[in-house]
Structure 1
């Protein structure tokens, strides 16, 4: 219970900020395959597997909800004020985790170097998404008074695409929302709901339905690909994680009040090292999880 709570909490912290994916954290913590399988089993016909999947995902969801609430209420302002330190930490986290993943998947990728093309695709995919011009500032108004059929459809589609990004290591769902101009509006809506302002509830319901639809459409494809084409998928995932280094570098430009990209002068070696240390901590958590 505690282990899965921590897993969900870490995923939420990643999902709440542009540049890092919750799927990346799931991969680092060694439960990505189980996470994808559980999402798939919920929609399956096997009642036993569905029950086990629901129990597992409920434990993950508990930590995720607490982590997301904390991010929305507290950490969002911290990210704004210390974006360069946080970006440096994420660079260390991702950069030092890539060799560990390569080591863990050594048997899968060894001898399959012809699949390196998928690594290139992964890098390019994340870089292209990051280069799209996100909407800065207050963005789109999504309260009940401004909600209409067109905006509802737009939010629904954004939710579908964002969740697809969130479950894939390397691509940040928050970055996708920035591209759609909905990151600040959705975060603001969550804040308002946590403060019991129900005026923003309809748009979050529509967004949630888009998320569920996206899960239903993409999870089976991811599971099948990991099973039948694991070597290609691992190369693709590693490529997306490499590409996320660029996404983190340009992350400060996507804030509500845009700032300059991360440079050598704003880079923090201390927080970079903290990120590296966190990788060791995540690996330790993974080992504890495997022992249990």
Structure 2
């Protein structure tokens, strides 16, 4: 039980990060040590597990996808997103320096952890590092765009943002900001607008 509570708290930290442009839930997952298991569990939501679900072998399906782990993490994530969206908006508005400093520290810590896993530097890894720096710099200087509020664009924005949210170092919220949908989605979360959230 304690283990699931800890997983839910880690999910909660991911959810908090996902609300903030510039901070990645994947970064928090990486720092907290659940990133690999999270990716492996999500990968299992495919052909074999869906066949188990289609034939109503629910217990086997749940075991196959590591359901207890995913449920604990995503419960914490959803609680954080829905309960802290307004709080994060308030803190960014009234205490921006402290909040950005805290999340900057998280980003630096995750970068150091990732760097520790690079055991040998060669030309390919240096080129990859430089490409990553270039993409990160471009994302930070790109200006938010004006985009439509039609259902297909909201769906597209959500799909791109959720892919970014699971990658360490890439902020799904910032992608939403660039696509002109950050405030729109944050308002939908705050007001629990089921149509937009769905």
Which TM-score band (shorter chain)? Answer: 0.7 to 0.9
Q: Which residue of 1 aligns with 2:73?
A: 60
User: Counterpart of 1:39?
Assistant: 42
Describe the superposition over 1:215-247 as per-residue Cα deviations: whole angstroms up to 9, x where unpaired: xxxxxxxxxxxxxxxxxxxxxxxxxxxxxxxxx
Paired position in structure 1 for 2:152: 153
Structure 2 partner of 1:290: none
Q: How does 1:105-144 map to 2 (within 5 A)?
A: 105=117, 109-114=118-123, 115-135=125-145
Cα distance, 1:70 vs. partner?
2.3
Q: CA deviation at 1:26?
A: 0.7
Seen in structure 2, the aligned counterparts of structure 1 residues 12 and 4 have a Cα distance that, compared at 3 Å, is same
8 A Cα contact 1:165 1:172, kept in partner: yes
Please give the alpha-carbon distance, in whole angstroms, between the structure 1 residues aligned to 2:129 and 2:43: 25
- Counterpart of 2:94 (choices 81, 86, 90) is 81
Query: TM-score, normalised to structure 2's length?
Result: 0.84
The residue number in structure 1 matching 2:31 is 28
Structure 2 distance, partners of 1:26, 1:77, is 24
Instruction: Sort the Cα spacing of 1:63 and 1:38 in 2 relative to 1 into closer, same or farther, 3 A.
Output: same
Q: Match of 2:168, SS?
A: coil
5+ long unaligned stretches in structure 2: 53-59
Does the 8 Å contact 1:42/1:50 carry over to 2? Answer: no
Distance 1:38 1:88, change over 3 A: same
Contact 1:140 1:185 in 2 (8 A): no
Q: Is the 8 A contact 1:14 1:21 kept in 2?
A: yes
- SS of the residue 1:163 aligns to: helix
Aligned to 2:178: 179
Q: Distance in 1 between matches of 2:66 and 2:137?
A: 33
RMSD between aligned residues: 2.0
Q: Which residue of 2 aligns with 1:204?
A: 197
Paired residue secondary structure (1:4): helix
Alignment check: 8 A CA contact 1:38 1:57 kept: yes
Separation of aligned partners in 2, 1:180 and 1:37: 29
Separation in structure 2 between the aligned mates of residue 97 and residue 21 of structure 1, nearest angstrom: 10
3-state DSSP class of the match of 1:171? coil
Query: What is the count of residue pairs matched by the alignment?
Result: 184
| 8 Å CA contact retained: 2:30, 2:110 | no
SS of the residue corresponding to residue 72 of structure 2 reads helix
After superposing on structure 2, the runs of 4+ consecutive aligned residues of structure 1 that deviate more than 6 Å are: none
Report the counterpart of residue 69 of structure 1 in structure 2.
82
Pairwise CA distance, 1:111: 2.5
Residue ranges of structure 1 left out of the alignment (5+ in a row): 143-150, 194-199, 206-292
